[in-house]
Amino acid sequence: MESVDCAVIGAGVVGLAIARTLSAAGREVVILEAENAFGTHTSARNSEVIHAGISYAPGSLKGRLCVAGKAALYDYCAERGIGHRRIGKLIVAVQEADLPELHKYVELGTAQGVTDLRIIGAAEARALEPEVACAGALLSPSTGIVDSHGLMLAYLGDAERHGAALALSSPVLAGQPTPDGIVLKVGGTEPTELLCGTVINAAGLGAQRVATAIAGMPADKVPPLYHAIGHYFTLGRPSPFQRLVYPTGRAGALRAHVTLDLGGQCKFGPDLDWRDGVDYRFDASREAAFYHAVRRYYPGLRDGDLQPGYTGIRPRLAGPGSSMHNSATDFIVQDEREHGIPGLLNLFGIESPGLSASLAIGGYVGQRVAALMP
């Protein structure tokens, strides 16, 4: 049986960031990825936004790691030449009745240490984004966009330079804790067993399945998994926007954000629906709802402008009716102090802002691992 100091399960942006941190600290690392390429699920099917950290409950892991990760990510991308732009974001109050929501974002952001937010009037918002119709807006200058694939390539390159190895098509089927470590049963074309001193379960949409496959894992420590699917429609002509545009949240309303990629392509989304599993089929019947939602703040949207784009699925820990401000939707990072299995760390619910927070998550997990080392 082969042995390794540390196995990271999952080669999404968070798993790769963790592998980068652990290998740089001198740990022997193997990254086990069930798919035949890295970053094929949540890490590849998102908005590629660098979030400012203004939408999360005060004191939450999401908030703390997003703010720290955002600053680290901008520095890292600049240093490594990874495509990114700090383009800013407008959160728009479409009606006068929505204006109080802007102050709530300021309060949340201030509680996280985000100090560059500014509420502006309708005229200034229109000067910044002439196509936007609103009663006022919140300007978030530190929001940006990033090339997520380029970022993952850089994380993987860093990890490999420190000796880490990536094993693709290597699903983890089971795990057995022993006095010498955790024995992982790895499937694929060349099935094997691997004795690991430390196991980091960063499997994203598969994290609950992996945790349940570890013998002795308490069932009450594995949170429920809700597959939250979001659709993106693309704009079939050049973008009229220079910044991201988000409408304020309204109970029961579709929030179809404006997001931009580094090539200038404008897309609207995601919406929020629920699937029973990992099912990326695009529901074109949602088009009418998108037209209605987008025209609330972008009345210049013409019939025929929207084109079906893609879908992404978030590993949510709370289902329909939950709020991103709810502590039940926070990131969960568990070690043996929570579940009783030495050497095992589980990451659950690593959805947005996981990309923005990835470097901070890597550092946080590295600290947790170091604290548990004999």
Quick: pLDDT tens for 237-247: 999 999 999 99
Which phi and psi (to 5°) does residue 50 adopt? -90, 105
Q: Among residues of the chain, what percentage have pLDDT more than 90?
A: 92
- Residue 227 pLDDT: 97
Residue 326 has pLDDT above 90, yes or no: no
By the 10 Å C-beta count (0-12 exposed, 13-18 middle, 19+ buried), 133 is classed as middle
- Residue 249 pLDDT: 73
pTM, entire model: 0.96
The residue assigned the tokens 């009345």 is 299
- Residue 320 pLDDT: 87
Render pLDDT for 35-78 as a digit per residue (tens, 0 to 9): 999 999 999 999 999 999 999 998 999 999 999 999 999 999 99
> Looking at 40-152, which runs of residues are DSSP E strands?
49-50, 84-85, 89-93, 118-121, 136-140, 144-146
- Residue 374 pLDDT: 61
State CA 62 to chain mean position distance.
Answer: 10
Stretch 87-107: mean pLDDT: 96
List of residues 6+ apart from 128 with CB closer than 8 A: 90, 120, 139, 242, 243
Residue 322 has pLDDT above 90, yes or no: no
- Residue 253 pLDDT: 63
- Residue 323 pLDDT: 59
Residue 373 has pLDDT above 60, yes or no: yes
| DSSP string across 333-364 | EE-HHHH--TTEEEEE---TTHHHHHHHHHHH
What DSSP state is assigned to residue 123?
H
Closest CA to 354 of 146, 154, 158, 102: 146
- Residue 265 pLDDT: 96
Q: Among residues of the chain, what percentage have pLDDT more than 70?
A: 97
Closest CA to 70 of 81, 84, 91, 59: 84
Residue 325 has pLDDT above 60, yes or no: no
Please list, residue by residue across 37-65, b when 16 or more beta carbons sit within 10 angstroms of its beta carbon and e when fewer do: ebbebbbbbbbbbbbbbbbbbeebbbbbb
CA distance 261 to 94: 24
- Whether residue 218 contacts residue 233, with contact meaning beta carbons closer than 8 Å, is answered with no
Domains of the chain: 2-45+149-224+327-372 (3.50.50.60), 89-141+226-316 (3.30.9.10)
CA distance 41 to 175: 23
Calculate the average pLDDT of the chain. 95
Q: At what angle do helices 148-161 and 13-24 cross, to 10 degrees?
A: 30
3-state DSSP assignment of residue 16: helix
Please list, residue by residue across 279-305, b when 16 or more beta carbons sit within 10 angstroms of its beta carbon and e when fewer do: eeeeeeebeeebbebbebbbeebeeeb
- Whether residue 274 contacts residue 318, with contact meaning beta carbons closer than 8 Å, is answered with no
Residue 324 has pLDDT above 90, yes or no: no
Render pLDDT for 193-236 as a digit per residue (tens, 0 to 9): 999 999 999 999 999 999 999 999 999 999 999 999 999 999 99
